[in-house]
Amino acid sequence: MSVEPARDEGVASVANEGEKVMPKGTDYLLTNTLARPRLLIVDDQTVNIRVLHEIFNELYDVFMATSGESALQQVTRFPPDLILLDVMMPGIDGLEVCRRLKASEETAHIPVIFITAHHQVDDELAGFEAGAVDFISKPINPVIVKVRVNTHMALKRQSDLLKSIAMVDGLTGVANRRRFDEVWPQQCRFCQEIQQPLTLMMIDVDFFKRYNDAYGHQAGDDALRKVASTLSQTFEGAFDPPAITDPPIAEAGSVMPMVARYGGEEFACILPGVDHEGARHWAERLLNAIRALHISHQGAPKGYLTLSLGVAVTTSGQMAAQALIEQADQALYECKAAGRDNFCLHDEAMDISAGPSMG
Ligand SMILES: [Mg+2]
């Protein structure tokens, strides 16, 4: 019998899994739904863990914890898709673990199935009140436990998939505005917490109305698709998740860059861990990548499609999420006014500086 990850924390195996579900340069939520489902088994008796591990080892990536404390820690750092939770444990018991999970916005969506030796109605009621979706009684019947867990796992994965589809821009395939609005305040909080800089870029396709007028909306859509995929590809492989390791990453994928369609021909890039110097570097790279596409645009002075970028950077972490968006917007406006095909950087000193290629 192979129960190799039976160590309490399971941190080593969890860390490896974390890498697997976080391909570089992509959005965690979207890739996570394609990864193998993650099952967390919590029980103070390792013999019970062994039995369940045997049953689910082939279907899921199985993780384990032998105490409520350890379970809560693991769930926050590497959220599983489903939790099998023993009720009776020394220290924080199963009911309390479940209550705490349900009380937190980040973990409330994870289904919890209680494993209990009690068969009293009152016990089941207490479990459902704590937020469980189901009960499995000991001694464990492998067939019953398998069916119940598989059913709830399938429901959870379906809901994740729907959620991720609702967060993708239908035209370009990058994150949509709803996703941006969800991620941006989280990133602001996260970067402040870990005291890392954060860059926001607002990106506009130059003379896009003229492009549509000249080539038609079909061609306009094609151009937006090309721009979106080029923006995403530019960041691919360039961000290493372990770059921010101390304090530990609170949520897998939090240090990933994100490209979103903000609306119309406007895109937004969130670049965690990127300071002023990095922002200038990335702005130049994005501008060059789009220039290199050489998308013919007779309505533009240069004869091909270009971008304007408004960039805002915070290094203190004190900047409010909304204020940074306004700064990036203002920088974008300045960039447009100064002739486009360039970037403007708005820093905390409130002065705007143009990119080197301006003029
Ligand atoms: Mg127990």
The answer to whether residue 359 is domain-embedded is no
Tell how far the Cα of 270 is from the centroid of ligand 1, in angstroms: 44
Higher local confidence (pLDDT), 236 or 67:
67
Q: Which two tokens stand for residue 242?
A: 């372990």
**Interatomic CA distance for residues 224 and 7, integer angstroms:** 50
Tell how far the Cα of 14 is from the centroid of ligand 1, in angstroms: 23
The strand pairing partners of 64, in sequence order, are 41
**123 and 192 together in one domain:** no
Tell how far the Cα of 69 is from the centroid of ligand 1, in angstroms: 14
**207 and 145 together in one domain:** no
**72 and 131 together in one domain:** yes
The answer to whether residue 171 is domain-embedded is no
Per-residue three-class SS string for the chain:
CCCCCCCCCCHHHHHHHHHHCCCCCCCHHHHHCCCCCEEEEECCCHHHHHHHHHHHCCCCEEEEECCHHHHHHHHHHCCCCEEEEECCCCCCCHHHHHHHHHHCCCCCCCCEEEEECCCCHHHHHHHHHHCCCEEEECCCCHHHHHHHHHHHHHHHHHHHHHHHHCCECCCCCCECHHHHHHHHHHHHHHHHHCCCCEEEEEEEECCHHHHHHHHCHHHHHHHHHHHHHHHHHHHCCCCCHHHCCCCCCCCCCCCCCEEEEEECCEEEEEEECCCHHHHHHHHHHHHHHHHHHCCECCCCCCCECCEEEEEEEECCCCCCHHHHHHHHHHHHHHHHHCCCCEEEEECCCCCEEECCCCC
**160 and 62 together in one domain:** yes
The answer to whether residue 5 is domain-embedded is no
DSSP string of 12-51, one letter each residue: HHHHHHHHHT--TTS-HHHHHTTSPPEEEEE-S-HHHHHH
At 355 the pLDDT is 65
pLDDT 10s digits, 15-53: 333 333 333 333 444 444 557 899 999 999 999 999 999
Tell how far the Cα of 79 is from the centroid of ligand 1, in angstroms: 22
Tell how far the Cα of 110 is from the centroid of ligand 1, in angstroms: 21
pLDDT 10s digits, 297-347: 999 999 999 999 999 999 876 668 899 999 999 999 999 999 999 999 986
* Residue that finishes a domain, picked among 165, 195, 217: 165
**140 and 184 together in one domain:** no
pLDDT 10s digits, 183-225: 898 888 888 888 889 999 999 999 999 999 999 999 999 999 9
Tell how far the Cα of 136 is from the centroid of ligand 1, in angstroms: 13
Tell how far the Cα of 85 is from the centroid of ligand 1, in angstroms: 9
Tell how far the Cα of 257 is from the centroid of ligand 1, in angstroms: 42
The answer to whether residue 294 is domain-embedded is yes
Per the document, the length of the chain is 359
* Residue that finishes a domain, picked among 165, 197, 231: 165
Tell me if residue 137 falls in helix, strand or coil.
Answer: strand
Tell how far the Cα of 86 is from the centroid of ligand 1, in angstroms: 6
**135 and 184 together in one domain:** no
Tell how far the Cα of 351 is from the centroid of ligand 1, in angstroms: 61
The answer to whether residue 55 is domain-embedded is yes
The answer to whether residue 201 is domain-embedded is yes
Tell how far the Cα of 26 is from the centroid of ligand 1, in angstroms: 40
User: Contact 247/183 with Cβ under 8 angstroms?
Assistant: no
Domain harbouring 321, CATH code = 3.30.70.270
The number of angstroms, rounded, from the C-alpha of 155 to the middle of its chain's C-alpha atoms is 20
The answer to whether residue 170 is domain-embedded is no
Tell how far the Cα of 115 is from the centroid of ligand 1, in angstroms: 9
**Interatomic CA distance for residues 117 and 11, integer angstroms:** 29
Tell how far the Cα of 131 is from the centroid of ligand 1, in angstroms: 19
Beta carbons within 10 angstroms of residue 333's beta carbon: 16
Its pTM surpasses 0.75 = no
**19 and 150 together in one domain:** yes
**236 and 288 together in one domain:** yes
Dihedral angle, C-alpha 116, 117, 123, 124, nearest 10 °? 50
Domain harbouring 17, CATH code = 3.40.50.2300
* Residue that finishes a domain, picked among 122, 137, 165: 165
**Interatomic CA distance for residues 270 and 251, integer angstroms:** 16
The parent domain of residue 98 ranges over 11-165
Tell how far the Cα of 117 is from the centroid of ligand 1, in angstroms: 9
Tell how far the Cα of 221 is from the centroid of ligand 1, in angstroms: 58
Tell how far the Cα of 93 is from the centroid of ligand 1, in angstroms: 9
Tell me if residue 296 falls in helix, strand or coil.
Answer: strand
Confidence of residue 3 (pLDDT cuts 50, 70, 90): very low
**193 and 342 together in one domain:** yes
pLDDT 10s digits, 52-109: 999 999 999 999 999 999 999 999 878 899 999 999 999 999 999 999 999 998 899 9
Tell how far the Cα of 153 is from the centroid of ligand 1, in angstroms: 23
Tell how far the Cα of 147 is from the centroid of ligand 1, in angstroms: 22
Count structural domains, the chain: 2
Tell me if residue 300 falls in helix, strand or coil.
Answer: coil
At 191 the pLDDT is 85
**What is the amino acid identity at position 282?**
W
**272 and 148 together in one domain:** no
Tell how far the Cα of 150 is from the centroid of ligand 1, in angstroms: 23
**Interatomic CA distance for residues 32 and 57, integer angstroms:** 19
Higher local confidence (pLDDT), 12 or 138:
138
**186 and 141 together in one domain:** no
**157 and 51 together in one domain:** yes
